[in-house]
A and B are shown apart, each in its own frame.
Chain A
Amino acid sequence: MSSWLDYTINGLIVGNVYALVAVGLALIFGVSRLINFAQGSIYLVGAYIGWVAVVQLHTPLPLTIIVVALAAALVGLIIERFGLRPLQNSVRIAPLLATIGISFVLDQLVMLTFSPNPRALPSQLPDVRFQIGGGTIGPLDLLIAGVGLTSALLLFAFLRYSKLGWAVRATAQDRDAAMQMGVDVNRVNQAVFGIAAALGGVSGLLVGMYYNQIDTAMSLQATLKGVVAEVVGGAGNVPGAVIGSLLLGLVESYGVAVFGTSYRNLFAFLLLVVVLVLRPNGLFASARQAPPEPLTGTFIAPSRPVRIPRWALLVVLGVFAILPLLPVSLYVLQTLINAWLLGMLALSLTLVAGTIGQVSLGHAALLAIGAYTSALLSLNFSVPVGLAIIGGGLTSAALGTALISPSFRLRGHYVSIATLAIGEIVSLVILNWEGVTRGPIGVSGIPPLSLFGYELISPTSIYWFSFAVMVVLALLQARLLGSHLGRSFRAIRDDDVAARAYGLSLNRYKSLAFIFGGFAAGISGGIAAHLYSYINHETFNTQQSILALTVVILGGLGNVVGAVVGSVALVGLPEVFRIAAEYRILIYGIVLLLLVRFRPQGLLGTI
């Protein structure tokens, strides 16, 4: 049993590593009010460049660090120049989505280059431990602390004494005024992305050495931890990010000490949600600090939706309805079943993100809740599958709304962060609540779909069932959008202050949107559980949340028909072109990037 001192040292060291990521996020947020979701990917790239340097080129440690910092900085500069600068004058959501797309592309490129299998990253330092007080400390711990301190000092000196550093600070405080003084904001962005990437890359290297292992799943975890630390310290606050990181490291370390390793991330995300709800400006924001600017109105690209004549919709619906009677292969039907399931999720997300403007990044959690509820109801209580799925939908609606409700007062980026965290929390609770969810083993032997006692085994019947459910949900949603309620939703999205001034209760309408959306997503998850017959805590992951978001943007935010068209396109086209599975996520990332750049209103337009 390690001593408390050991846990404290461990917490501070891990916190130091988080700080390298979080400081970069804070710099970028300060200058461009953007949460860079690609920060973790740069960290991943740093770790793998480090691996190449150490294992293949046998560079000595100081050189390894320099190589990683420079290479990662280069990646950061490229992201800024080609990924974000073209989006300077587009809607607020565009750069956020672009960084998500970039992170998918980078992660997949690393995975395709190095394979998803973990690799060992040797630390290049002697493996000795020094005794201090009741604990021990090793050379690597000292190296990490040293790199952290040195970076902090260099950064402080840069911001305080260099001209470019002054420009960074001035831009962060008042972008327009800085421009009027002759500050070149593009150079400031470049500097900030370069520094953030260098720090992030070195952080990836150090973490790889610390755990002696690197793999491609590190990326999302790093982004999440960095965001937690940054938000805890106050978005855009550089010293706050350092303190937030150390705090996060300690909370995690003590949490692990008391409850065990699988709780590490749960503590991180609970800390995030608590801070977001109680002190959304961070622990250290003083009262005078204005709250982060309201990201309403222009957050979603306004456009005129494409009008589709009613008869054309009916014809297309008719063709898909009789499709199983036509000579089509099973493969086509199975592909379309996937598209209908994704379509239900997309309907849910397009309502929440598009119509009422709460861009959720954790929508897969609603699938998971629906799936587990339906699976466990039918397995443990022998509830008929049809009813169990409805139970899944209702539970997802209720639980999903309850979980998100404390975050209703957040806006813009913060909603995205909160939903992302809640999504992770749901997945971690499923992992750890073994008594109910069977923990890491997952739930197997889930009974197949059945309706009124008839089992739906043939692909044809499953096709009709999922298609019918999706169409009913889509019709309900279209009806909802045309009603007074739909108008209220859009009013809240476009200007929540004005909506409130007209007497709309934000909480009530946001709840209604999440209840409806949660139900649709829960139904989709429920059906999926009975189709797959086995689910675990990773079946419904962040990748699916982002895929759903890409679908929704492809179709046009808020657009019901668009959500379905987007699902068919994103599920179907890779099949048509026979794109190998490992390239698909890469394609989705590229699609997201191209959409954001060239058609932010999507194929059919936002509504």
Chain B
Amino acid sequence: MTTNAFSSAPLLTLSGVNTFYGQAQVHFDLSINVARSHIVCLLGGNASGKSTTMKIILGLVKPRSGDVSFDGASLLGLTTPQIIRRGIASVPEARRLFADMSVRENILMGAFVRNDRDAVAQDLERMLALFPKLGQRLSQRAGSLSGGEQQMVAMARALMSRPRMIVMDEPTMGLSPLYVDRVLELIRTINQEGVSVFMVEQNASLALEIAHEAYVLQTGKIVLSGSARALKDDPRVRDAYLGGAEAA
């Protein structure tokens, strides 16, 4: 872990972010903090701007105004590989594995920005310890795995860059209930090793079970935020959440 792991300043900060796709504004003055070693969840329905938030953090979309900073330094102006080297990894929406590459190649793609081959090989072993099921699947086509297994690969892939924070886009989407629990458990395990998690979710009740803090995003604006425990009991979360579902 880094030297200032116990500093109280948040690890990731989005402040006053405004984003546009052409003429259409996606984010309105968005401000989010992710504290060190916390799980923070961004809730919202379809077209609320959740996935764009993730792309902003990774540098794939540039905001028109506002700042994104990680560990005290701004990420604006950095390329995606540079941002990954700073310690942010991602689990994309619908997992997005490289379907025709093997499971091993997929996991190793997560270490694409790293050049320390021996350490990468060790980390691969570590992943197989964390996700024992993947051991027998290493040389299979990633596209041939079940949805839950693919989610394991996507998470192993994200961990391969030795991130300090992982951003996840709807990690439970389309999984069977059995795997949903397993994935949530894994997120907790990863978090307990000191990795912060920023996850975007539609399923509020599931997300609030494991999150420390949460934000509710509606058509590009944060309408509610606070500790997960407080939000779980807040009637407005239900309303906001249902409002989002209605818009979908």
Contacts and interface: CB of A to CB of B under 8 A. Distances in A.
A184 B60 CA distance: 11
B79 interface: yes
A169 B80 contact: no
Contacts of A288: 143
Given A163-B112, A166-B109, A170-B109, A177 B81 contact: no
Interface string B61-81: 000000000000000000111
Interface in B126-172: 143, 157, 161
B169 to A, nearest CB: 10
B99 interface: yes
Nearest to A184: B81
Given A176-B92, A177-B92, A183 B112 contact: yes
A176 B90 CA distance: 12
Contacts of B81: 182-184
A169 B92 contact: no
A564 B121 CA distance: 65
B109 A179 contact: no
A174 interface: yes
Contact of A182 (B92, B97, B113, B143): B113
B112 A181 contact: yes
Given A181-B112, A182-B81, A182-B113, A169 B60 contact: no
A182 B101 contact: no
Contact of B101 (A173, A179, A183, A184): A173
A136 to B, nearest CB: 41
A180 interface: yes
Nearest to A185: B80
A167 interface: yes
Contacts of A180: 58, 60, 80, 90, 92, 96
A163 B108 CA distance: 10
B100 A173 contact: yes
Nearest to B142: A173
B84 interface: yes
Interface in A191-214: none
Contacts of A170: 98, 101, 109, 112
A176 B51 CA distance: 13
30 contacts: A163-B112, A166-B101, A166-B105, A166-B109, A167-B112, A169-B98, A169-B100, A170-B101, A170-B109, A173-B98, A173-B99, A173-B101, A174-B96, A174-B97, A174-B99, A176-B92, A177-B92, A177-B98, A179-B60, A180-B80, A180-B96, A181-B112, A182-B80, A182-B81, A182-B84, A182-B85, A182-B161, A183-B81, A183-B112, A184-B79
B98 A179 contact: no
Nearest to A171: B98
Nearest to B161: A182
B198 to A, nearest CB: 14
B81 to A, nearest CB: 4
A178 B161 CA distance: 14
B220 interface: no
B107 to A, nearest CB: 11
Interface of B: 58, 60, 79-81, 84-85, 90, 92, 96-101, 105, 108-110, 112-113, 143, 157, 161
Nearest to B100: A173
Contacts of B85: 182
A247 to B, nearest CB: 23
- Most-contacted residue by chain B among A169, A173, A288 (CB, 10 A): A173
A163 B85 CA distance: 17
A interface SS class: helix
- Most-contacted residue by chain B among A163, A181, A288 (CB, 10 A): A181
A178 B98 CA distance: 8
Contacts of B112: 163, 166-167, 170, 181-183
B227 to A, nearest CB: 29
Contact of A169 (B84, B101, B143): B101
Interface string A265-308: 00000000000000000000000100000000000000000000
A182 B81 CA distance: 4
A497 B245 CA distance: 26
Interface string A416-449: 0000000000000000000000000000000000
Contacts of B143: 288
Contacts of B84: 181-182
Interface string A156-178: 00000001001101100110111
A163 B115 CA distance: 10
A169 B101 CA distance: 8
- The 5 A-B residue pairs whose C-beta atoms are closest, nearest first, are A177-B96, A182-B81, A182-B113, A182-B84, A173-B98
A163 B109 CA distance: 9
A183 B108 CA distance: 13
A176 B55 CA distance: 10
A405 to B, nearest CB: 34
B117 to A, nearest CB: 10
A181 B101 contact: no
Contacts of B100: 169, 173
- Most-contacted residue by chain B among A167, A179, A182, A184 (CB, 10 A): A182
B94 to A, nearest CB: 10
Contacts of A179: 60, 80
Nearest to A288: B143
A189 to B, nearest CB: 15
A296 B97 CA distance: 26
A178 B157 CA distance: 12
A53 to B, nearest CB: 38
Given A167-B112, A170-B98, A180-B96, 4 more contacts: A173-B101, A177-B98, A178-B109, A181-B110
A181 B110 CA distance: 6
Contacts of A167: 112
A546 to B, nearest CB: 31
A173 B85 CA distance: 23
Contacts of B60: 176, 179-180
Nearest to A170: B98
Nearest to A180: B90
Nearest to B79: A184
A600 to B, nearest CB: 15
A181 B84 CA distance: 8
B105 A181 contact: no
A288 B99 CA distance: 11
A182 B114 CA distance: 10
A163 B112 CA distance: 8
Contacts of A163: 112
A174 B143 CA distance: 12
A180 B158 CA distance: 10
Contacts of A166: 101, 105, 108-109, 112
